A and B are shown apart, each in its own frame.
Chain A
Amino acid sequence: MSVSKRSFQLVTWIAILILGVVALACKGNGGGSGPSSVSLLGAGASFPNPLYQKWLSEYGQHHANVKIDYQSIGSGGGIKQLKEQTVDFGASDAPMKDEDMKSAPGEILHIPTVLGAVVMTYNLEGISQPLRFSPEVIADIFLGKIKKWNDPKIAADNPGVTLPGADITVVHRSDSSGTSAVFTDYLSKVSPEWKEKVGAGVSPSWPVGIGGKGNEGVTGQVKNTPNTIGYVELAYAVQNKLPVGQVKNSSGSYITPSIDTVTAAAAASAASMPEDLRVSITNATGPQAYPISSYTYILVYKNQKDAGKGKALVDFLWWGIHDGEGFAKDLQYAPLPADVVKRAEGKLNSITANGAALRQ
């Protein structure tokens, strides 16, 4: 009897302890959202995640009262959570679709933050100089129409290069990804056949090839399998020193992907940017523009419900598109051209709470 009594006591104490801890934790949460400090939550694209994490830590050092979290759950999840208003800001690589905008509970603004690019990488023995690709050749390879590396069409782009007669193995992303969306958006613009048969999207139905999960999966398969071709993000290719192909742009020159040529693509299409800043800049004109480039966006509601939170969010984004851009190059993202920063400023200035502008 005494044993069971003692164990009952033990259980009671443990229960009290657990209740106490839970109570304390709740109290801690409550204290965090007091009037003096603001916490913001964001979610979305994984591509700009390293940059956003850098922003959060840098911004946090000077703004101790603002606590911001960003979860890189993917663009689709970011848009979904923003629409359900479970986050204060979303992030997406591709601009939101019209129907998504319409079904959202409020007007959503697109704030471009940085640019990225998709590069062609390959594994061909005995080739030292970068291979050159024209848009039709890339489309035909990924459509399965060009099957051999020594196809006359590839040879025409690469005079003087001895190409092997091996079969081409195409490697694409298997996970849904903004990288695939940008790449297929580009192919849809340069190849009517691609547009009709496959189309553009985060997870297209690929006519040929094997799928690798993530940039690392594609890279792993390209590195380990001879005679492969795949596509990865610029930042990933640079950091891992992958062989990268030059792509012919719409001005007819073969462009090596780099931060500067990506920013050039953005600058070339800045003038024709629509009012809501939702734009695809693949196949940009401009002599130095790398054609497979794209913006990545932070998504916010134009009318903020909470003035305190809204102010903190606008201030953070303002800091991001000015001071924050300085961290982009080190992390292999292309910073916004000056004209686009001006356009983004205009968007941030238009954000209101209860009818009053949050930035004076």
Chain B
Amino acid sequence: MSAITDSGDVKLSGSQSHWRRVLSPTGNTGDAVFRILMLLVALLMVGIVVAMVIALARDSMLSIRQFGFSFLTSQRWDPIKGQFGALPFVYGTVMSSLIALLISVPFSLGIAIFLVEQAPHYIARPVGFLVELLAAIPSVVYGLWGIFVLAPFLRRYVEPALATVLGWLPLFRGSITGIGLLTGGIILAIMVTPIISAVVRDVLAAVPGSQREAALALGATKWEMIRVVLVNGAPGIAGAVILGLGRALGETMAVTMVIGNRPEISASLFEPSYTIASAIANEFTEATGDLYLSALVELGLILFLVTFIVNGIARLLVWNVTRRTGGVGRAA
């Protein structure tokens, strides 16, 4: 705050002070005002995040004191008996998002490459528009579609087939109901695909045409040329995937409709599971008792941490990859 009053004084007196130079190297008052505004906006964002963490930590104190570290390792969630453990929710959240990314990243890359490199304009435009339209569908609609269309389809065709072919893996054993971790992951994949593909499309489009021309001129095939483009766009593509991951981790309504909502860790992808966001949405409205509420708030805090850690790991991976491909150029 002091920066503003200082600069205000400086502006009025018109003296060439240190602050004035910091705020506006060009010496233009408009620039200085703009700079302060942007700084405030950026600080506000940081402030909101910090305030959220403090509020979550404060309201979950009761639960943190009661259960300590065992909250993270316990698999028991029994509101009636006052026993709370978050592990099944963390597992469900991370696994469903992982499944979503495994499915959606290849699809999104394919869509983006097709739209930028292959499709003629009269196809690329409407298809691109339709993909973006998918992002505007409310998640509750995805959820209902999941129950009434996707789950029966998976139960009848996909899951029996997976069980026969890959049944030797514990991942694809168990009772086939069409509701469970796999269905949750697939619905998330459908939801994050438009986000990832739209961003990747813009990233690829931003790679300079000269890169393509250079590759082709050196005798590269179309596929080899696309690989050059992908490597150039790698940081941007990684950013797109992280954006999609964020959506998948926090998604609530659509997942809760199809994941089965059972706080249990099971090796099978066919069995029901539960995510943190779904648990909060499901239980917060009717939660009575301070400890119960506090445990739900602590779940929120853990979701915050999980998002933070997963994002951190993703960024580390990106940094590793871009460092190794070292200076091929940062087109995006």
Contacts and interface: CB of A to CB of B under 8 A. Distances in A.
Interface stretch (B51-59, B74-82, B213-221, B242-250): B74-82
B260 A201 contact: no
Interface string A243-266: 000000000000000000000000
A178 interface: yes
Contacts of B261: 174, 210-213
Interface string B151-194: 11001000000000000000000010111100000000000000
Contacts of A198: 80
Interface stretch (B6-14, B115-123, B202-210, B283-291): B283-291
A169 B180 CA distance: 13
B233 interface: no
A276 interface: no
Given A175-B285, A209-B262, A167 B79 contact: no
A221 B147 contact: yes
Given A202-B288, A211-B274, 18 more contacts: A74-B285, A76-B288, A100-B288, A167-B175, A169-B177, A175-B281, A175-B282, A176-B79, A204-B79, A204-B80, A210-B260, A211-B260, A211-B261, A213-B278, A216-B144, A224-B151, A224-B178, A225-B151
Interface of B: 30, 76-81, 143-144, 147-148, 151-152, 155, 175, 177-180, 253, 256-257, 260-263, 272, 274, 278, 281-283, 285-288
B288 A79 contact: yes
A200 B152 CA distance: 32
Q: 4 tightest CB-CB pairs across the interface, nearest first? A: A211-B261, A174-B261, A176-B286, A74-B285
B179 A221 contact: yes
B287 A76 contact: yes
A145 to B, nearest CB: 17
B80 A201 contact: yes
Centre residue among B30, B155, B263, B286 by max chain A CB count within 10 A: B286
B262 A210 contact: yes
Interface of A: 4, 73-77, 79-80, 97, 100, 167, 169, 174-178, 198-206, 209-213, 216-217, 220-221, 224-225
A221 B179 CA distance: 8
B144 A220 contact: yes
Contacts of A178: 286
B227 to A, nearest CB: 44
B286 A77 contact: yes
Contacts of A97: 288
A76 B178 contact: no
A167 B78 CA distance: 26
Contact of A203 (B144, B151, B286): B286
A205 B285 contact: no
Contact of A210 (B76, B80, B272, B283): B272
A206 B261 CA distance: 10
Given A213-B257, A224-B152, A199 B287 contact: no
A97 B289 CA distance: 10
A176 B257 contact: no
Nearest to A79: B288
